[in-house]
């Protein structure tokens, strides 16, 4: 799963909570439950070495997804994609050919870079 999608989802939830007007009393408890200290703690956890950089297709990604899912559940959120909080995004992997070389044409003779 793409870590940008996971982070964007988390950020959108936070923004959605803060975007509500103060007159909407149904969301008041949720708004009051989010503190700067909680956000700092979550950031410290996600940035820790334990999460191994949160790179896609790594153990760090799995740990990040599990952490976010637990946090969503603590907030009382319900999955929005069937039984999942997340949407699968196919990853594209491009591996350079080590034998490839760059050719630049335009002068009297081409120039090659290996």
Please return the burial class of 48, using the count of CB atoms within 10 Å of its CB with bins 0-12, 13-18 and 19+. exposed
pLDDT at 57: 82
Total structural domains in the chain?
Answer: 1
- pLDDT for 75 equals 81
Please tell me the predicted confidence (pLDDT) of residue 84.
92
Tell me the pLDDT tens digit for each residue of 34-59: 888 988 999 999 999 999 888 888 89
Residues spanned by the domain of 59: 3-113
pLDDT for the residue numbered 25: 76
Query: What's the pLDDT score for residue 1?
Result: 54
Mean pLDDT by 10 residues, the chain (114 residues): 64 67 69 85 92 87 93 88 89 85 88 84
Backbone φ and ψ for 17, nearest 5 degrees, come out as -65, -40
pLDDT at site 76 = 86
Q: For position 96, what pLDDT does the model report?
A: 85
pLDDT at 55: 84
Task: Report d(CA 41, CA 88) in Å as an integer.
Answer: 27
The helix/strand/coil state of 112 is strand
pTM for the structure as a whole: 0.55
CA distances for 39 relative to 3, 15, 100, angstroms: 18, 13, 46
DSSP class of residue 107 equals: S
């Amino acid at each position: 799963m793409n870590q940008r999608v996971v982070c964007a989802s988390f950020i959108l939830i936070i923004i959605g909570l803060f975007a509500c007007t103060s007159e909407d009393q149904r969301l008041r408890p949720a708004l009051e439950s989010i503190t700067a200290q909680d956000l700092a703690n979550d950031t410290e956890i996600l940035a820790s070495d334990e999460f191994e950089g949160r790179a896609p297709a790594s153990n760090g990604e799995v740990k990040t997804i599990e952490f976010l899912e637990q946090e969503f559940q603590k907030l009382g959120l319900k999955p929005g994609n069937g039984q999942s909080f997340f949407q699968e995004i196919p990853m594209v992997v491009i591996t350079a050919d080590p034998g490839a070389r760059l050719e630049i044409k335009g002068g009297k003779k081409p120039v090659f870079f290996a």
